[in-house]
Amino acid sequence: MEGIFRDEIEVRQIDKFFCDEMGRQVHRYIKAMHGSLAMLEKFEARLRQLTIPEREEVLARYIDLNRKVVKDLDWRMLVARAMANFCDSYSYFSEVMHDENTMAFYVPRMKEKYIRLHEVFEENGKYGIKDHEGRVLLSASYDFLRTPYVYVDDLLTMPVIAEKSGKMGLVFPDYEDTVVMPFEYDDISLRDEEPWFELTRNGVVTYWPGEPK
């Protein structure tokens, strides 16, 4: 691998330390959003069970639903923190950070790992969702889609509000169009707290998942 500092061991370690920094960024976000301590601890406990590539993937999915995590994020600062954990002396750290190619290599690398946003697409007048690689998460078979951009302090997979033939339902963006709640509802609205969805059918209101505490 070219570059005086970018050998395989360094890159692997910087990936690990940057992943730790991104986990702390999520930690700060959850606290800023007044998330519960119990859910924060659960989130971090689940992360600790994963490999670094698995953590990168789930953090990217989390960021996709909680995009304020990286709003105004100083990527260079997080790279510097990761690099500081790798370096064994200040002089070496200073030398690395003054290498003009360091940030040019690591910042795009980290953005590619963590900024993996889905997009809604239209096909024949219907709507679907593609992942960051262009693969179809939800087929273009819905009259309406609303992706829940909400604060969630857990690694919960959130369903999408969808409409078919004038009725609303919930579906998972899991490449298989898995129906969570059937297309039987007159309205489905997003709540600011768990349970995340309020579903109305013939004037009767229910919730997903479960009932309010």
Task: Tell me the per-residue pLDDT of 83-132, one tens digit each, with 9 for 90 and over.
Answer: 999 998 999 899 888 888 899 999 999 999 999 988 999 999 999 999 98
Q: Indicate the helix (H) or strand (E) that contains 95.
A: helix 90-97
Query: How does pLDDT run across 171-186, given as a tens digit for each residue?
Result: 998 999 999 999 999 9
For the chain, percent of residues with pLDDT exceeding 70 = 93
**Using CA atoms, how far apart are residues 19 and 78, in angstroms rounded to an integer?**
10
The number of residues making up the chain comes to 213
Q: Can you tell me which residue has the tokens 């096909």?
A: 123
pTM of the model: 0.74
The residues with which 176 forms a beta bridge, in sequence order, are none
Q: Residue 17, CB half-sphere, CA atoms under 13 Å: how many?
A: 18
pLDDT, residue 156, reads 60
At 109 the three-state DSSP class reads helix
What one-character-per-residue DSSP string does 128-174 give?
A: EEE-TTS-EEEEEEESEEE------SS-PPPPEEEEETTEEEEEE-S
Alpha-carbon dihedral 27, 138, 148, 108, rounded to 10 degrees: 40
Which pair of structure tokens corresponds to residue 150?
């909400």
